[in-house]
Chain A
Amino acid sequence: MQRIKVMVVEDSRVASVMLTRALEAEGFTVVALDDGLDAYKRGLEGDIDLVLLDHLLPGMLGTEVLHRWRSEGITFPVIMISNVTGEEEVTRALTLGARDYVRKPFSTRELMARVRIQLDGVHG
């Protein structure tokens, strides 16, 4: 059976490693990227099941990446992870089609529970 593939888009090496290790421990295959534009292109390839997306990224902002995916008809669940926590930013991300918004600092246990909920919605 093919393993679930999660893309982590995060330019902070510490956060990226943390998320990657936590997801791998849960049995997911992880694709880690640190640039918004690269992530956008990778998302178009069609083999990603879920994305953990930072907002402030080099190349392209997280919300812009999300907006472009949705415009292209890409529907995989996206969980935004960011230390930009203003009401406006959160609302904008959710309006653009993010399924969830997690604020930094985060708890890996809680985040994995949120990932499971989103994947249950897709695969369950």
Chain B
Amino acid sequence: MAELSRIILIALASVVLCAGAMLFAVKVTRRHIEGRRFTRRQIYVDLVGELIVRGTFHHRAFRTNSADPLFRGVLLEYLRMLRGEDRSRLMRAARDMGMVDRFVKELTSRDRNLRVSAAQALGEIGDPTTVEELVFALADPVDEVGAQAAAALARIGDPRAVKSMLAAMDHQEQWNAQRLADSLFSFGKDAVPEMTRYLQSSGRYRPLIARTLGLIGDLRAEPALIQALSSASLELRLRSVAALGRAGSIDAVPHLVEALDDEDWRVRAQAASALGRRRDREGLPALRRALADPSWWVRHNSAAALAQVAGGNEALRRALDHPDPYARDAAASMLLSTDAAIAAVRSVGSEDPLERAASEEFIGALAEAGKEEYFVAAGLDPHDVKSMRLRHELKEYPHVASDR
């Protein structure tokens, strides 16, 4: 029995020792391989750096190693790091050694990872001769390949790719379509004519394109964006209003004013903000009316917009006497966030009776609109504030009496 136990123990110890030795061997081998990889990479980094500075890429090592993924990785790193003449020379060298052809071929590989990295690499290299292949890759069944191809096309910047990118967009899911739209933004004004045509089509992602057009900010898109304001699609109206607020001309203002009457509060709120951004006085009466909108957001955005437009502060002051309590509240809240409220507090003690009366009238109006606490917190005597409020309520200030 004891003999059997001894044999079992020895067998177990042998197994443990063998396993340990194997693990050790694997570890040593892996470290050796990694070490060699590291050394090889360092050699490539030194070699490519040397050749860039010397400006000679007809080195034998370039051709010999061009198939090595490690070498290609190093070359792409240099391309990312450099610009100007160095980059152009390196790009030409990459093309001469057949790297571009290799990546183009890999774009149609059965290995999806290889297709993704090939599209990425072609983007880094930015060779205009690869546009056609990249356009083809937009329709790749793997989303990531299409997105990388779009980014590559954006980097190359050939506007002929825009139409294909828009067509490919319609077959993508929302998040990937967003990435394509980001790539289209990189084309800038060159992409505007084609994107404008898309906006007038029945394309699935017209709201995304309206947004992108607003970000690019080219007036050639304005008529299409104005037209989109009457679309049945809420999202398209919303994005178009925002785009016109960001990049529209004076011609857009009447249309934004019309959008303040949109059936959906989100469009109305966006239109109010857009009019604030346009800073056009033409929008003042409509914004003042919108202070009484049923939606809190529309009232808030309209008050904020009035504060941005020249003459808007006066409109906000007049809105303190608005018959609608919501409009009064929106105007009062906005006025409290401007310098006017602080200035009024300072002027209460003014020796100029006219200035003093004007500030008291202003504070009285804001107190009547429910903002009494603000002035007490700002250091005014609560009884004085109450008195100003009462005088305003009783229309004892000359301004109030004549205005009403």
Contact = CB atoms under 8 A, between A and B. Distances in A.
B49 A21 contact: yes
- B interface secondary structure, majority: helix
A14 B53 contact: no
B46 A17 contact: yes
A17 B52 CA distance: 11
Nearest to B50: A21
A13 B42 contact: yes
A14 B75 CA distance: 9
A14 B85 contact: no
Contacts, number: 51
Interface stretch (A66-74, A93-101, A105-113): A105-113
B81 A14 contact: yes
Contacts of B54: 25
B206 to A, nearest CB: 33
A22 interface: yes
Given A13-B42, A108-B53, A18 B85 contact: no
A83 to B, nearest CB: 9
Given A18-B52, A21-B50, A106 B45 contact: no
A105 B85 contact: no
Contacts of A14: 45, 49, 74, 77-78, 81
A19 to B, nearest CB: 9
Given A17-B46, A21-B49, A25-B53, A106 B81 contact: yes
A15 interface: yes
Contact of B81 (A15, A20, A21, A25): A15
Interface residues of A, number: 17
B80 to A, nearest CB: 6
B86 A107 contact: yes
A21 B46 CA distance: 9
Q: Which of under 10, 10 to 19, 20 to 34, or 35 or more describes the interface residues of B?
A: 10 to 19
A7 B40 CA distance: 26
A12 interface: yes
A116 interface: no
B141 interface: no
B42 A109 contact: no
Give the residue among A12, A15, A18, A25 with the most B Cβ atoms within 10 A.
A18
Contacts of A92: none
B81 A109 contact: no
Contacts of A18: 49, 52-53, 78, 81-82
A105 B83 contact: yes
Interface string B80-110: 1111111100000000000000000000000
B52 A107 contact: no
A94 B46 CA distance: 32
Contacts of A17: 45-46, 49
A42 interface: no
A34 to B, nearest CB: 13
Given A14-B74, A22-B53, A25-B53, A109 B45 contact: no
Contacts of B42: 13
B53 A107 contact: no
Nearest to A13: B45
Contacts of A25: 53-54
Nearest to A19: B49
Interface string B291-333: 0000000000000000000000000000000000000000000
A109 B86 contact: yes
Interface string B46-58: 1001101110000
Contact of A106 (B52, B74, B83): B83
A106 B82 contact: yes
Give the 3 A-B residue pairs with the shortest CB-CB distance, closest first: A107-B84, A17-B49, A21-B53
Interface of A: 12-15, 17-18, 20-22, 25, 104-110
